[in-house]
A = this chain, B = another copy of it.
Amino acid sequence: MKKLLLVYGLLVATFLAYIWYFVLREERPNGWNEGATGLTGGIEEKYVMVTFQSSLDYWRSSMKGFEDAAQQLNVSVEFRGATQYDPNEEITVLEKVIARKPAGIAVTAINTEALNPAIDKAVAAGIPVVLFDSGAPKSKAYAFLGTDNYDAGAQAAREMGRRLGGQGKVAVVTQPNQLNHQDRTRGFEETLRKEFPGMSIAAVADGKGDILVSAQATEKILDEHPDVDGFFATQANGGAGIAQALQDRGLEGRKTVIGFDTDKGTLDLVRSGEIDATLAQGTWNMGYWSLLSLFHLSHGIVTEGKQEGSHPIPPYMDTGITIVTRDNVDDYYAK
Contacts and interface: CB of A to CB of B under 8 A. Distances in A.
A197 interface: no
Interface stretch (A28-36, A93-101, A182-190, A203-211): A28-36
B40 A38 contact: yes
A202 to B, nearest CB: 28
A74 B28 CA distance: 14
A12 interface: yes
Interface residues of A, number: 68
A39 B36 contact: no
B282 A309 contact: no
Contact of A8 (B11, B306, B332): B11
Contact of A39 (B4, B7, B26, B40): B40
Contacts of A319: 311, 314
A285 interface: yes
Contacts of A14: 12, 15-16, 19
Contact of A315 (B26, B318, B324): B318
A101 to B, nearest CB: 23
Contact of A318 (B23, B35, B288, B316): B316
A288 B323 CA distance: 30
Given A36-B74, A72-B34, A331 B314 contact: no
Given A12-B14, A40-B40, A71 B35 contact: yes
Contacts of A303: 65, 282, 284-285, 288, 320
A294 B18 CA distance: 34
B309 A323 contact: yes
A125 interface: no
Nearest to A283: B303
Nearest to A306: B331
A145 B65 CA distance: 21
